[in-house]
C-alpha cells in the first residue's frame, strides 16, 4: 500500500511516499527542506516531487504529523493532508510529530522542538516510546524537572543545548518513515479515518478589550 506522509511541525518541510506492507515501511521518495518561513510555498511542490509518476489515486492513506509545532506552518501540513484525502476519498491518520524523532532514540531521552518565544515543545521517551503527553515550556524549567533523562534529541535540543545541559543527538527533525511506522497497524487494518487535530498546546493570543479610552481631555 502506498502512503503519503507529511510533517510541517518544525522548520523542516517534509513530504514522503512510503510503501507499507506486512514486513514494514519502506520509503520510496522523501524530500525535506529546512525553511521556517516557506511551508506554504514549498510543501505542495515537494508532494508532487515525491509522487513523481505515481498517480495520487494509488495512495491508500495520508499520514500527517499533528505537531506540536508553530501554528501557521503546522496547519499547512494538516490542511494539505485533509484536502488531498478528501479529494481522493482516502483516510487520514495522525501521529504526534515528536514521536517521529523519539521513535528513533533509545534509553531515556528528552525530545524537544522549537516552540518560538524561547520555549520548546517536548516529551520524554524511554527506549523510543513516549511517556506522557507532549507539552510546551521554557527549556530551563523542562530540564529542571527531568532528572533521569541523559540525552536530548530534536531541533529544540540543538537550539537549547546549553540551557538543557544535555548533549544534542539526531534526529533533529521528525522522520516520516517513523511516523508512517507508528500508523502502519491502522493503515494495514483500514482503520477509520481520523480527524487531524493539531496539537497547538497554546491558546490564541487574544485579549478581551478593556473599557474604552476617553477621547476628550
Partner 1 sequence: MTATSEPLVLGIETSCDETGVGIVRGRTLLADEVASSVDEHARFGGVVPEVASRAHLEAIVPTMERALRAAGVAISDVDAIAVTAGPGLAGALLVGVAAAKGYAIAADKPVYGVNHLAAHVAVDTLEHGELPDRCIALLVSGGHSSLLLVDDLARGVVPLGATIDDAAGEAYDKVARLLGLPFPGGPPIDRAARDGDRGAIAFPRGLTAARDQAEHRFDFSFSGLKTAVARWVEARERAGEAVPLADVAASFQEAVCDVLVAKAIDACRAQDADTLVIGGGVAANSRLRALAQERCDRHGIAVRVPRPKLCTDNGAMVAALGTHLVAAGVPASPLDLPANSALPITTVSV
- Residues near partner 1 (CB under 8 A) are 40-45, 47-48, 51, 56, 71-72, 75-76, 78-88, 198, 200, 204-209, 212, 214-216
Q: Which is nearer to partner 1, 156 or 198 (CB)?
A: 198
For the bound state, the minimum distance from the C-beta of residue 35 to partner 1, rounded and expressed in Å, comes to: 12
Least Cβ distance, residue 80 to partner 1 (angstroms): 4
3-state helix, strand, coil in the chain (%, to 5): 30, 30, 40
Which is it for strands 59-65 and 25-34: parallel, antiparallel or unpaired? Answer: unpaired
Nearer to partner 1, 27 or 56 (CB): 56
Cis-peptide, bond into residue 74, ω within 30° of zero = no
Output the smallest distance, CB 159 to partner 1, in A: 23
Cα–Cα distance for residue pair 159/112, rounded to 1 Å: 9
In the complex, least distance from residue 195 CB atom to partner 1, rounded to whole angstroms: 9
Cβ closer to partner 1: 26 or 35?
35
Which run of H or of E encompasses 65? Answer: strand 59-65
Whichever of 49 and 141 has its CB closer to partner 1, that residue is 49
CA distance 156 to 166: 11
Amino acid at each position: 500500500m502506498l502512503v503519503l506522509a507529511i510533517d510541517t511541525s518544525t522548520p523542516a518541510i517534509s513530504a514522503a511516499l512510503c510503501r507499507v506492507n506486512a514486513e514494514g515501511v519502506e520509503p520510496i521518495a522523501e524530500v525535506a527542506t529546512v525553511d521556517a518561513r516557506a511551508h506554504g510555498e514549498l510543501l505542495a511542490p515537494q508532494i508532487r516531487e515525491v509522487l513523481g509518476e505515481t498517480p495520487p489515486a494509488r495512495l491508500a492513506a495520508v499520514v500527517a504529523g499533528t505537531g506540536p509545532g508553530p501554528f501557521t506552518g503546522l496547519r499547512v501540513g494538516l490542511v494539505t493532508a485533509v484536502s488531498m484525502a478528501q479529494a481522493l476519498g482516502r483516510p487520514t491518520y495522525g501521529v504526534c510529530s515528536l514521536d517521529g524523532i523519539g521513535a528513533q532514540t533509545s534509553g531515556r531521552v528528552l525530545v524537544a522542538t522549537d516552540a518560538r518565544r524561547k520555549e520548546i515543545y517536548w516529551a520524554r521517551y524511554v527506549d523510543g516510546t513516549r511517556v506522557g503527553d507532549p507539552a510546551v515550556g521554557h527549556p530551563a524549567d523542562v530540564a529542571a524537572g527531568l532528572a533521569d533523562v541523559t540525552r536530548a534529541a530534536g531541533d529544540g535540543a540543538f537550539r537549547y543545548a546549553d540551557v538543557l545541559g544535555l548533549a544534542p543527538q539526531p534526529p533533529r527533525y521528525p522522520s516520516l518513515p517513523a511516523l508512517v511506522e507508528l500508523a502502519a497497524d491502522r493503515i494495514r487494518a483500514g482503520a477509520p479515518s481520523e480527524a487531524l487535530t493539531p496539537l497547538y498546546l497554546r491558546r490564541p493570543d487574544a485579549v478581551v478589550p478593556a473599557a474604552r479610552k476617553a477621547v476628550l481631555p
